[in-house]
Structure 1
Amino acid sequence: MEELFEKPENNAPEENSYHHYTLFDVTVDPGLKDDEGNELPRPFNKNQMRKWLKKVRWEKHKAEKRSKEKARAKERKREARAANIDLGPNRKMLKKMKLEKVKKNISIIIDLSFDHLMIEKDRYKVIKQLLRCYSINRRSEAPLQFHVTSFGEKSKVDISRHNGYEHWDMEYHEKSYLELFPKEKLVYLSSESENIIEQFEEDTYYIIGGLVDHNKHKGLCHKLAVEQGIRHAQLPLDKYVNMKTRKVLTIDHVFEIVLRISEGMQWQEALLKVLPIRKGVHLCDSLNSSTISIETSKENDVPT
């Protein structure tokens, strides 16, 4: 492993003094010594130092990375124009379209009240999935009302890595959904719920738990909904598709399924479109059988 810090000079004083180490033009004080020569506690332990170094590297190279990303995007657009490929509306057009589109009276809430249950890496995953939800929604012809609740300090720090997040087309709330919306209009989406939902009602707020926990807190969202006395439901996955893996979906997958159904897409089509290949998704045998029988009857029809 390479040296992270510059070593002090040999002739530097040892007692009742301390050395400054430099990394990426940032000065770090690794700790002082008391009158008896004992080293005082350092400001960072090994884990904290590793995280700090990662942030320093990110800040140092952020502008350079952004510049390279812009250059790559311009090159892709140039190649697409040369090949006569339509890449869809650009960012400027999307922002203009955002103001012109009429949103459906169906709301999605991402509940970010679980920050304390996740490590930093998993909190970043939640923000990344939130970004995907935003991207999917703004490209829809019939976008949903989009809210983020319990938007605390940790979430603000994590999301600040994405420049301009304040201008995303969603509403940020520091308060809980219980303090913001009528209780009778809330529905928490949870795979542990015994209630099956097939239609999304207007003037209703559907909550998705902003939690990446690798199954450490199974059933937490359902338990929370029961304790709070609000409605809860799960998507009808078992009715339409078989999956080789668990039914637990990511935040952006649940968001997109709700969006596609709200747009008028059929459940089978929406689930096959949204769910990733790695989950081994295929239509239920009963649905496949009914599809085959319908196609067969059409082939046997004799025009009169």
Structure 2
Amino acid sequence: MLMLIKCVVRSTVYQVVSFPAVSAVRPLLRLTTSHKVVRFLASMSSAEAPPSLACTTVHSVSEGASLGAEAAHVDQAANECTAEVAKATAECSEGATLSKNQRKRLVKAQKWEEGAAKRKEKRREKRQERRAKHKKEFDEGTREPRIFQEDTVQVDVNVVLDLSYEDKMTPHDVKKVRQQLHTSYAANRRNLRQVRLHFTSYGGSIKEQCERYSPGICNWKCNLTEQPYYSVFPKEQIVYLAPESPNVLTSLEEGKAYIVGGIVDHNSQKGLSYQLAEEKGIYHARLPIGDHLHLKTRHVLSIVHVVEILCEYVNKPDWLAAMLKVIPQRKGLTLLSSVAGAKQDNDKIDNADDENAVPEVSCEAQAEDRVDAEKQTTE
């Protein structure tokens, strides 16, 4: 029976290795398969056979020693054949022709590997320069010390981002709002005195994008709610910030909720927040930008800039310092004092020019003078 199994397996292996696609590894397949057959037969001879196979196992026991020797010989031959096949495969791969793009990728990969040490050294030098720069700024007092969250204090000033403007924005603008939510939250966390941050009307595509790109938003130290702001806070505590409002925000009071419209419209929805506040009968106010600064553009700031100004004022109650630190220079901001001084200087120059100017003489007077001069000459 053992001889029958050997013949069947060997004939099958011969049919497989005779296929042209595996001609390069025929010796390895033959030796590996023969090795498996020998191991299989040896295991059968050493195991206890059932009564129906008693006649077969008698011959298997007597052939145990010869099978062990044959297995060792097959192991050695298989190892030699494996080494030969690996050598032939390497020679074939070295001699194989590569395309132009493959050669380019190979050269690029080699250059990248060669420059690994240089890149590491360059990163180390930049890190040392950055540390030295920060240390110098700390010593000079121009850089604020690092703030740890254990040392922060939360004040009772509520800054609310109203996210109910989704139907008035394009998908691209909704994406910008989501990004500004991240920046606003980070700006508040960088301060020693932090405000209470709320995201109201939190739903729709804004919520989907936040959960997709920031899965940890549920762990943020802020209030996420799908309810509108007028359902979260009493009406008498709400102050809606609108740049068109005639009321000026003079200070931030504890217990109040300052609403910031979460909209990016590129000035296409002018006066929208002011209009909604008027319709709901909610008190509104604007930041005191016009009382301290002169801007070349409209007094409309982004979500991030408004939140940063409020956070800066909470830490240092100075509107001018907060706005100078936050408002970008592209707005063309100048101090009202300097503008007033320049205007006074221009007025003084105009007055001096008027005093030193030669009085104008009418044409009739010039004609009369000319006639008088001619009479005196004839006389």
Larger radius of gyration: 2
Task: Find the aligned partners of 2:324 and 2:156 in 1 and give their Cα distance.
Answer: 25
1:108 is aligned to 159
Q: Tell me the CA shift for residue 153 of structure 1.
A: 2.1
Tell me if the contact between 2:151 and 2:192 (Cα under 8 Å) persists in the aligned partners: no
User: For residues 105-125 of structure 1, what are the alpha-carbon distances to aligned partners after superposition, in whole Å with 9 as ceiling and x for unaligned?
Assistant: 101000000111111110111
What secondary structure, in the 3-state scheme, does the structure 2 residue paired with 1:84 have? Answer: helix
* Residues 1:206 and 2:253 aligned together: no
* Residues 1:119 and 2:134 aligned together: no
* Residues 1:143 and 2:187 aligned together: no
Q: Tell me the CA shift for residue 277 of structure 1.
A: 1.1
Name the Cα RMSD after superposition.
2.6
* Gap change, CA 1:246 and 1:164, over 3 Å in 2: same
Task: Find the aligned partners of 1:276 and 1:182 in 2 and give their Cα distance.
Answer: 34
1:134 is aligned to 185
Q: Tell me the CA shift for residue 262 of structure 1.
A: 1.5
Q: Amino acid of the residue matched to residue 131 of structure 2?
A: N
User: For residues 225-275 of structure 1, what are the alpha-carbon distances to aligned partners after superposition, in whole Å with 9 as ceiling and x for unaligned?
Assistant: 111111100011111001111111000101111111121242222111100
* Residues 1:79 and 2:118 aligned together: no
Tell me if the contact between 1:133 and 1:255 (Cα under 8 Å) persists in the aligned partners: yes
Tell me if the contact between 2:152 and 2:191 (Cα under 8 Å) persists in the aligned partners: no
* Residues 1:157 and 2:204 aligned together: no
Task: Find the aligned partners of 2:123 and 2:231 in 1 and give their Cα distance.
Answer: 46
Higher relative contact order (CA 8 A, sep 6+): 1
2:220 is aligned to 168
Aligned pairs for 1:62-77 (under 5 A) are none
Q: Amino acid of the residue matched to residue 128 of structure 1?
A: Q
Where does the alignment leave 5 or more consecutive residues of structure 2 unmatched? Answer: 1-118, 138-145, 342-379
What secondary structure, in the 3-state scheme, does the structure 2 residue paired with 1:154 have? Answer: helix
User: For residues 5-51 of structure 1, what are the alpha-carbon distances to aligned partners after superposition, in whole Å with 9 as ceiling and x for unaligned?
Assistant: xxxxxxxxxxxxxxxxxxxxxxxxxxxxxxxxxxxxxxxxxxxxxxx
2:285 is aligned to 233
TM-score (norm 2): 0.52
Tell me if the contact between 1:196 and 1:234 (Cα under 8 Å) persists in the aligned partners: yes
Tell me if the contact between 1:104 and 1:142 (Cα under 8 Å) persists in the aligned partners: yes
Identify the range of structure 1 (168-177 vs 156-165) with the bigger mean alpha-carbon deviation: 156-165
2:272 is aligned to 220
Tell me if the contact between 1:149 and 1:173 (Cα under 8 Å) persists in the aligned partners: yes
User: For residues 191-235 of structure 1, what are the alpha-carbon distances to aligned partners after superposition, in whole Å with 9 as ceiling and x for unaligned?
Assistant: 011100120111000000001112222111111111111110001
In the comparison of the two structures, how many residue pairs are matched? 211
1:292 is aligned to none
User: For residues 53-87 of structure 1, what are the alpha-carbon distances to aligned partners after superposition, in whole Å with 9 as ceiling and x for unaligned?
Assistant: xxxxxxxxxxxxxxxxxxx9xx9798334642449
* Residues 1:255 and 2:307 aligned together: yes
Tell me if the contact between 1:240 and 1:287 (Cα under 8 Å) persists in the aligned partners: no
2:354 is aligned to none
* Gap change, CA 1:245 and 1:100, over 3 Å in 2: same
Q: Amino acid of the residue matched to residue 172 of structure 2?
A: K
Where does the alignment leave 5 or more consecutive residues of structure 1 unmatched? Answer: 1-71, 290-304
TM-score (norm 1): 0.64
Task: Find the aligned partners of 2:282 and 2:317 in 1 and give their Cα distance.
Answer: 27
User: For residues 147-205 of structure 1, what are the alpha-carbon distances to aligned partners after superposition, in whole Å with 9 as ceiling and x for unaligned?
Assistant: 00000121111212124222222110100011111111000000011100120111000
Structure whose residues are more often helix by fraction: 2
* Gap change, CA 1:77 and 1:282, over 3 Å in 2: farther
* Gap change, CA 1:198 and 1:287, over 3 Å in 2: farther
Task: Find the aligned partners of 1:257 and 1:168 in 2 and give their Cα distance.
Answer: 21
Query: Equivalent pairs: percent with the same residue?
Result: 37
Task: Find the aligned partners of 1:80 and 1:163 in 2 and give their Cα distance.
Answer: 30
Q: Tell me the CA shift for residue 133 of structure 1.
A: 0.8
2:48 is aligned to none
Q: Tell me the CA shift for residue 143 of structure 1.
A: 0.6
Q: Amino acid of the residue matched to residue 273 of structure 1?
A: K
Task: Find the aligned partners of 2:328 and 2:237 in 1 and give their Cα distance.
Answer: 31
Task: Find the aligned partners of 1:286 and 1:107 in 2 and give their Cα distance.
Answer: 34
What secondary structure, in the 3-state scheme, does the structure 2 residue paired with 1:146 have? Answer: strand
Tell me if the contact between 1:187 and 1:205 (Cα under 8 Å) persists in the aligned partners: yes
Task: Find the aligned partners of 1:108 and 1:81 in 2 and give their Cα distance.
Answer: 39
Q: Tell me the CA shift for residue 287 of structure 1.
A: 7.8
Q: Tell me the CA shift for residue 288 of structure 1.
A: 7.1
Q: Tell me the CA shift for residue 100 of structure 1.
A: 4.8
